[in-house]
Amino acid sequence: MNTAAAIGAAAVIGLIVGSFLTVVVHRLPRMLERRWAQEAAAYLSADGATRAIGASDGSAAGAAAGQAGDAGHRYDLWMPGSACPHCQHRLRWWENLPVVSWLLLRGRCHACGQSIGLRYPLVELATASLFALCMARWGFGPTALVWAGFSATVLALALIDWDTTWLPDDLTLPLVWAGVLASALGWTGTPLEASVWGAAGGYLFLWAVARGFRLVTGQHGMGDGDFKLLAALGAWFGAPMLLPLVLLSSAMGAVAGLAMKATIGLVDGKYVQFGPWLGAAAGIVLGIGPDRLARAVSGSLGL
């Protein structure tokens, strides 16, 4: 396969993976809510309090028990099949083609005519671009494959954090270990020592910042998921890249916060999610080239 064909094939695979990512972003938070509801209901049942709590319709625990009941129906990344969020019309195969279906349907549901969000084709196109970039940079092989997987996972995490303020352990923790293992196998171009220190340093740095902020202000300034995401980025890019990642993401987050305050009236005391900007910073580093940028940073630090 020549280079152009390989890049094109990677883009097509990226479109398919991007379509799956839209499912992950939508369903994973709901799957977590169901899991938590089941765990809460099981705890309450074991404690002998389910009957009393169920009688209190307005209680959060009663709602959890109700959600646990609803969770009896299979709901995961595979079932039920994709459907219109407005009318629950089950999508047929030709309505579920990445980008193409959205264009054919002119961004509207075939059954009810309600608008289909622009996010769907944008996520698919973004994933296709990332996969094509990985193939163009590293060629066909394990390095391109693992960086493509990294890109897709970080994109999903950024979108989930934007929607829910959550960075699920189901994605962040495997991403940390995948980075270390891929480094150990020589697939990322990041030395194993730099990967291990990057994971540890990424977590401890943001943990220390958040802990200091809480001691000074008495408020939570950052969630634990941000620590784990930066740990994952450190595992993939290496310890020397932590400072550029933090500076880039902080700058973009600050600009976004000011823009949101000026346009949609971000309320004082509210915060801008940090995960999407960590993801954007990772995308910039990937676009420039982690190896090239790492050499530049190491050279500027005299390492």
- The answer to the question of residue 240 being in a domain is yes
Residue 88 sits in the same domain as residue 185: no
Residue 85 sits in the same domain as residue 163: no
pLDDT 10s digits, 7-46: 999 999 999 999 999 999 999 999 999 998 888 888 887 7
Cα torsion at 110, 116, 118, 124 (round to 10°)?
Answer: -70
Residue 154 sits in the same domain as residue 58: no
Residue 183 pLDDT exceeds 80 = yes
- The answer to the question of residue 265 being in a domain is yes
> Which of these ranges, 25-34, 160-169, 195-204, 263-272, has the smallest mean pLDDT?
263-272
Residue 147 sits in the same domain as residue 227: yes
Query: What local confidence, expressed as pLDDT, does residue 65 receive?
Result: 47
Query: What local confidence, expressed as pLDDT, does residue 136 receive?
Result: 93
Q: What's the total number of domains in the chain? A: 2
Query: What local confidence, expressed as pLDDT, does residue 303 receive?
Result: 55
Measured between alpha carbons, how far is 120 from 289 in angstroms, rounded to an integer? 27
56: pLDDT confidence band, cut at 50, 70 and 90? Answer: very low
- The answer to the question of residue 149 being in a domain is yes
Residue 188 sits in the same domain as residue 86: no
> Which of these ranges, 186-195, 219-228, 266-275, has the smallest mean pLDDT?
266-275
The answer to whether the CB of 205 falls within 8 A of the CB of 278 is: no
Residue 94 sits in the same domain as residue 149: no
pLDDT 10s digits, 57-66: 445 444 554 5
95: pLDDT confidence band, cut at 50, 70 and 90? Answer: confident
Residue 85 sits in the same domain as residue 152: no
Helices vs. strands in the chain: H and E counts, helices first: 12, 0
- The answer to the question of residue 115 being in a domain is no
Residue 96 sits in the same domain as residue 165: no
- The answer to the question of residue 46 being in a domain is yes
User: Which percentage of the chain shows pLDDT scores above 70?
Assistant: 84
Residue 213 sits in the same domain as residue 284: yes
Residue 72 pLDDT exceeds 90 = no
pLDDT average, residue stretch 158-172: 94
Classify residue 83 by its DSSP letter: B
Average pLDDT across the chain, whole number? 85
- The answer to the question of residue 111 being in a domain is no
Residue 206 pLDDT exceeds 80 = yes
197: pLDDT confidence band, cut at 50, 70 and 90? Answer: very high
- Written as one letter, the residue type at 188 is T
At residue 90, φ and ψ (nearest 5 deg) are -75, 120
Sign of the alpha-carbon dihedral angle for 209, 211, 212, 218: positive
- The answer to the question of residue 198 being in a domain is yes
Residue 223 sits in the same domain as residue 155: yes
Residue 146 sits in the same domain as residue 291: yes
Query: What local confidence, expressed as pLDDT, does residue 2 receive?
Result: 80
- The answer to the question of residue 173 being in a domain is yes
Residue 158 sits in the same domain as residue 292: yes
Helix (H), strand (E), coil (C) string for 4-70: HHHHHHHHHHHHHHHHHHHHHHHHHHHHHHHHHHHHHHHHHHHCCCHHHHHCCCCCHHHHHHHHHHH
Measured between alpha carbons, how far is 120 from 28 in angstroms, rounded to an integer? 16
pLDDT 10s digits, 211-270: 887 888 777 767 889 999 999 999 999 999 999 999 999 999 888 888 877 776 554 556
> Among residues 83, 104, 125, which one ends one of the domains?
104
Range of the domain at 66: 3-104
